[in-house]
Chain A
Amino acid sequence: MKGYNFAYLDENTKRMIRRAILKAVAIPGHQIPFASREMPLPYGWGTGGIQITAALLGMSDVLKVIDQGADDTTNAISIRRFFALTAGVATTTHTAGASLIQTRHRIPETPLRQDQILIYQVPMPEPLYRLEPNKSAAMRLHALADYGAMHVKLYEDITRFGRVATAYNHPVMVNRRYLMSPSPIPAYDNPKLHRMPALQLFGAGREQRIYAVPPYTEVRSLDFVDYPFHPGRAQHNCSQCGSDDSYLDEVITDNDGGRLFLCSDTDFCQNRQKAAK
């Protein structure tokens, strides 16, 4: 597209972001500040993820964008088109065929490989922010690895609800050092973070933070010995492909309590349906 640099951002900005990414990879789970730019989409729509994608895209990359697992939602389509226009790169909806995957709130069901990069859109990078709203105090707690307060929150959940009640954005310890917010992915996806072959990058545009989980890094969900972490999913089969182990969305179909469950990962679901035919 004329008048714009390749992949929208100017090269100096990309270098700045790449430096932040390198730092983030060097200190797994640690939040690196970066000079987040204004992007042609509102905060909360993935301005962090899109800047990482822009900084990483090369001519030969194949890009996939998902929003809560789906390739066909407004947000996913717009971002995919944005890069098709500004970078002219190939796009795909196939997990296996993508070299870069930008995601909002899901990890694809299909296991990722070493040669792929998963880029998360993050609304709030600081896992401690509800417990310690003061940012410098929270940074101090990270520096001291003092995460007692986070466990207090889990303790309170068990005390009140009999179990850990976080269904999404369940905090994790990265490489036994930094407490990290996995972005609002369902707890069901948390185990996939652990020792994933693909590089995982997290971008928060409004909060101006980038963090990373390098390939094969240990990522443990916070829990108690006697109340182990339990990733939950709806106890149903996908109404489209019949899957009994994928993460399901619940869809209300009428006003009489009718509902159905279907895979949140549209690519995964379609592949299964095709294979079944």
Chain B
Amino acid sequence: MLNYIVRRLLYAIPILLGVNLLTFALFFMVNTPDDMARIHLGAKHVTEEAIQGWKREHGYDKPLFFNAGVEGAAKVGDTLFVEKSLKLFVLDFGPADDGRDIAREIKTRMWPSLAIALPTFLVGLLAYISFALLLVFFRGTRLDTAGVILCVALMSISGLFYVIAGQYVMGKLWHWFPISGYQPGLDAWKFLLMPVLVSLVAGIGDSARFYRALFIEEIGKDYVRTARAKGLSELRVLFRHVLGNAMIPILTGVVVVIPRLFLGSLIIESFFGIPGLGSYTIDAIQAQDFAIVRSMVFLGSLLYIAGLVLTDISYTLVDPRVRLE
């Protein structure tokens, strides 16, 4: 398995390089370094000297991929791409274009994001699977039909609606929770309850339907009939045998997101005033802060790759037939 993991990690290097290349090409296709300078220097009284000064100070005065003005390896090495990319591979994100340290920003903002994402993820998984198993238990009955209709209805509504409705009902009308905001430490609970609840309700429709479809496929198999024939309770049949055998597709969807949990959610964090990482990349794109954009894209890709490796490893834990060679 170790060989497999090492091999997968080595594969990650060209993938990350490719992602980086694409990020650079796409970003600079839309924004030139002059545009970036203008955005950072403001709208008034900006002179050409100021623009050149900003580019020089931030290292954007070099060619993107090829420097014809120098000799030898420096033609490739003395470029924006190499200068800004290589450090990312040792997770040195450097400062943002506004001067603030990116790694520090990530470290600070990941905890509030995790504080919402982790309970939403764990409670959600438990609730969605239980609800789906309940529907499977009552499959073919009115309860199942009602549950499926409810799921379809819930998944048809925009996520933003849940946020605004949740804030309106629980925050504005009933005064149960602060409408938005965040406090670190123990005080955080009252700011987290509503976004977690809203996220759970917003996610129940499609997740429960997806899991129900998985379980329905399993429930008709011989081993389920055998388990029932042995006299096992239905709860045991469902939660132990059906769930256990449906784990591979569940893990495929679930484990891959675990490393990326701390990247947060844009809508939830923006509306609830959670100081997480959810809007960090979007804000950076709007501010044309390329240092943040390339760092966050790189980190996102890295975590996605990590998630895929973890998914593969998790298969071996739930299915002894799977071997990572």
- The yes or no verdict on A and B being binding partners is no
* Residues in chain B within 8 A of chain A (CB atoms): none
